[in-house]
């Protein structure tokens, strides 16, 4: 990435687009409000004509490309719909020397929302394997003054090596190691690391919270991690994307057998604490 990229504000929304963003954010949480919000969002996107937007959201600064990434659309137009309950829970659990692992970080929504509240002693690692999205993640980290977020361009897996990532051109936030595609243009080889290898390399002596959104590979990552990791490295809080139909077994039951209890379930995620 070019370090001389334009400063935050260079792509600030103006005029009609700025008003449309404000209106979509203010829509009531109802079926009708969402339908009107989607309409306003489509108008704004057509007015942008492919340009990015610099916008403060979730307590942080972002440069957003709201075209083929659902995550970026939500952060720009309806941040309340970007896992608000999960983010609020993470913030409520922040302590001194807070350690948070954001596995499948996309463009940094979770990582930067936590970084904005966690303070300089926190350590936040954001993992994103998809090259184009990783570049956006790095840019968003640089737009903020927090200094407590580190990004790693790799896929978290059950072993060190390399794997094939299958890309969804309609939603770049949905890259997966489990989707089989015959289209080679939608595949990319990326480096992979076992989670415990990374944790040890970073010198962590504890993990406060972990979020996993890796399109069905959560079971592969967590089962290997818990099989090998000492208990002092087991996270206190886990937010894991709901993927029962793609997991090879009962991941939630497995975590329960390790002492984790389900403390909530949202539209997108399971929440477990120990």
Same domain, 132 and 185: yes
Q: What is the pLDDT of residue 179?
A: 46
* 48/172 same-domain check: no
pLDDT confidence tier of residue 205, bands split at 50, 70 and 90? very high
Q: Bigger pLDDT: 147 or 172? A: 147
Last residue of a domain, one of 42, 61, 80: 80
Same domain membership, residue 266 and residue 204: yes
- Same domain for 94 and 55, yes or no, is no
Q: Is residue 95 part of a domain?
A: yes
Radius of gyration of the chain (CA): 19
Per-residue burial over 215-240, b if 16 or more Cβ lie within 10 Å, else e, is: bbbbbbbbbbbbeebeeebbbbbbbb
The model's confidence at residue 176, banded by pLDDT at 50, 70 and 90, is low
Section 191-215 average pLDDT: 96
Element (H, E) at 36: helix 31-48
207: CATH: 3.40.50.150
**pLDDT on residue 174:** 67
CA distances from 261 to 239, 251, 253 (A): 12, 12, 10
- pLDDT band at residue 3, thresholds of 50, 70 and 90? low
**pLDDT 10s digits, 71-121:** 999 999 999 999 999 999 999 999 999 999 999 999 999 999 999 999 999
pLDDT at 207: 98
Tell me the DSSP string of 222-263: HHHHHHHS-GGGS-SEEEEE--TTTSSS-HHHHHHHTT-EEE
Domain membership of residue 166 as a residue range = 84-273
User: 153 and 101 share a domain?
Assistant: yes
pLDDT value, residue 164: 87
Residues 65 and 195 both lie in one domain: no
Using the predicted structure, report yes or no on whether residue 65 has a pLDDT greater than 50.
yes
State yes or no: pLDDT of 49 exceeds 70.
yes
> What would the mean pLDDT of 39-57 be, rounded to a whole number?
97
Confidence of residue 171 (pLDDT cuts 50, 70, 90): confident
Residue 182 has pLDDT above 60, yes or no: no
* 173 and 108 in a common domain: yes
195 and 75 in a common domain: no
**3-class DSSP state of 85:** helix
How many CB atoms sit inside 10 A of residue 12's CB?
12
Q: Which two tokens stand for residue 211?
A: 């979020």
* Total-model pTM: 0.93
Predicted confidence at residue 250, as pLDDT, reads: 95
- Do strands 269-273 and 155-157 pair parallel, antiparallel, or not at all (unpaired)? unpaired
Give the pLDDT band (50/70/90) at residue 181: very low
Q: Which of 32, 47, 80 is the last residue of a domain?
A: 80
Here the tokens at position 108 are 């940094």
| C-alpha–C-alpha distance, residues 169 and 134, integer Å | 15
Please name every residue paired with 161 in a beta bridge, in sequence order, or none if there are none. Answer: 192
Q: Which two tokens stand for residue 55?
A: 């916008």
Listed residue (231, 219, 221) closest to 258, CA to CA: 231
pLDDT tens digits along 215-273 = 889 999 999 999 999 999 999 999 999 999 999 999 999 999 999 999 999 999 999 99
Phi-psi region of 99 (alpha: psi -120 to 50; beta: other; left: phi over 0): beta
The pLDDT score that the predictor gives to residue 180 is 42
More confident residue, 136 or 179: 136
* Average pLDDT of every residue of the chain: 93
Average pLDDT score over residue span 153-176? 83
């Amino acid at each position: 990435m070019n370090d001389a990229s334009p400063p935050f504000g260079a792509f600030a929304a103006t005029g009609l687009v700025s008003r449309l963003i404000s209106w979509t954010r203010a829509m009531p949480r109802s079926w009708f409000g969402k339908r009107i919000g989607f309409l306003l969002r489509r108008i704004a996107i057509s007015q942008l004509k492919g340009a990015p937007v610099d916008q403060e959201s979730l307590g942080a600064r972002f440069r957003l490309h709201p075209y083929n990434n659902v995550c970026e659309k939500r952060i720009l137009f309806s941040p309340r719909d970007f896992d608000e309950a999960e983010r609020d829970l993470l913030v409520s659990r922040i302590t001194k020397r807070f350690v948070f692992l954001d596995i499948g970080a996309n463009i940094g929504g979770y990582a930067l929302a936590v970084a904005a509240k966690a303070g300089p002693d926190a350590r936040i690692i954001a993992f994103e394997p998809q090259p184009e999205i990783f570049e956006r993640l790095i840019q968003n980290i640089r737009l903020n003054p927090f200094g407590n977020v580190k990004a790693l361009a790799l896929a978290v897996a059950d072993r060190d090596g390399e794997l094939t990532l299958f890309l969804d051109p309609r939603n770049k936030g949905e890259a997966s190691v489990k989707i089989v595609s015959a289209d080679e243009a939608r595949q990319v080889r990326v480096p992979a690391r076992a989670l415990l290898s990374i944790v040890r390399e970073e010198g962590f002596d504890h993990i406060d919270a972990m979020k996993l959104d890796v399109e069905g590979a959560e079971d592969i990552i967590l089962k290997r991690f818990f099989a090998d990791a000492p208990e002092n490295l087991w996270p206190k809080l886990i937010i894991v994307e709901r993927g029962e139909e793609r997991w090879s077994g009962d991941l939630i039951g497995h975590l329960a057998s390790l002492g984790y209890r389900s403390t909530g379930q949202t539209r997108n995620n399971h929440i477990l604490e120990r």
